[in-house]
Amino acid sequence: MTETVPAQLVTDAAPRPTAQDRKAALAGLFDRSAPTYERVGVDHFTELGRRLVGHAAVLPGDRLLDVGCGTGAVLVPAAEATGSTGSAIGVDLSSGMVERSREALREAGLTHAHAVVADAETIDWDAGEHAVPPPANGSLDAVFAGISLFFFPHPHRAVARYRELLSPGGRLAISWWGRPDPRWDPVFAASAPYGRGGSSHALPEDSPFRSVDALHTLLKEAGYASVETDEQQYVTRFRGVHQWWDWVWSTAGRMFWEGVPASSMERAKAAVDAELDRLRAPDGSLTNTSAVRFTVARTQPSTATETMP
């Protein structure tokens, strides 16, 4: 939908952030969450990463790419599945996240896998400046995007780029959010008056991540031959309210809280704590059951056109 905006509003309004501005802001956001991401005692992205790798049926020797690799929740199990006869490259905008991925690969002894700081929308970096050159067109067996693609300003361009990189019959495996736990709606409603946007569940009107149909349409239009989505429930457990707060600040959820003015922070936290109190089990613990979607798109398999002599 296009809107007609009076000229004076255009002049006075703050300029809309460009795609580059949004990427720079995300790199900063994830740099700040990198030290604690998946380190506050809550098993969340690690398990989702394992499940995504399971959906892509990785074989020994496969050549893999993981876009928005973060701390390695997908990259590490993917590199384990392909083994040392294969290869895996993780790409992330945030140098803090990439450092964590490298650390995880070192600890797991996965020397056939690398992580690079680069924009995963284009997969086009200077070979001389990184440990590995960008993958060539048609060279990959699978591309993973674990809880990352909906952050990209141009997901349609990104999935088209991955199709070029994939070999015939290659897989693009994406994990993304379905319906958030409705029991938690009052928690987010309580914080909403104090900040702006900020939840990774809050998507723009035209986002392809608003429905399974919309994402399937995007992938078909990008030339993938088949697309399937499996929706699962994922229960995240928190020992108590303090652990939930630590967890929020370790994820993209901190985006909202960084935008709350210092003058209203205490009131905002008190409003949220009152709602969290209602969700607590008798032992003080909290659980959140979200829908997680695992979408696998495949490129056209090669057809045997050559005839034997």
Residues that bind ligand SAM (rule: CB under 6 A) add up to a total of 24
Alpha helices by DSSP H, listed for the chain, are: 7-12, 19-33, 45-55, 75-82, 95-108, 155-165, 185-191, 212-221, 241-250, 254-258, 262-279
SS3 category, 160 = helix
The encoded tokens of residue 256 equal 């909202």
Q: Cβ closer to ligand SAM: 246 or 275?
A: 246
Among 64, 119, 135, 218, binds ligand SAM (CB under 6 A): 119
CB atoms within 10 A of CB 170: 24
Decide: is 26 part of the binding site for ligand SAM (CB under 6 A): yes
H/E stretch holding 122 reads: none
Name the one range near ligand SAM by CB under 6 A: 66-74, 188-196, 214-222, 239-247.
66-74
How far, in whole angstroms, is CA 121 from its chain's centroid?
A: 12
Decide: is 23 part of the binding site for ligand SAM (CB under 6 A): yes
Decide: is 121 part of the binding site for ligand SAM (CB under 6 A): yes
SS3 category, 22 = helix
Decide: is 77 part of the binding site for ligand SAM (CB under 6 A): no
* Cα–Cα distances in angstroms (integers) from residue 270 to residues 10, 265, 276, 295, 309, in the given order: 37, 9, 10, 38, 78
Per CB under 6 A, contacts with ligand SAM among 248-267 are 252
Q: Cβ closer to ligand SAM: 68 or 208?
A: 68
Rg of the chain over all Cα atoms, to the nearest angstrom: 21
Q: Are 275 and 186 in contact (CB under 8 A)?
A: yes
Decide: is 86 part of the binding site for ligand SAM (CB under 6 A): no
Report the nearest approach of ligand SAM to the CB of residue 25 (Å): 10
Decide: is 141 part of the binding site for ligand SAM (CB under 6 A): no
Decide: is 68 part of the binding site for ligand SAM (CB under 6 A): yes
Among 40, 62, 70, 82, binds ligand SAM (CB under 6 A): 70
Report the nearest approach of ligand SAM to the CB of residue 45 (Å): 3
Task: Give the position of tokens 């604690």.
Answer: 36
Report the nearest approach of ligand SAM to the CB of residue 48 (Å): 6
Decide: is 134 part of the binding site for ligand SAM (CB under 6 A): no
Q: Interface with ligand SAM by CB under 6 A: which residues?
A: 23, 26, 30, 45, 49, 68-70, 73-74, 91-94, 97, 119-121, 146-148, 151-152, 252
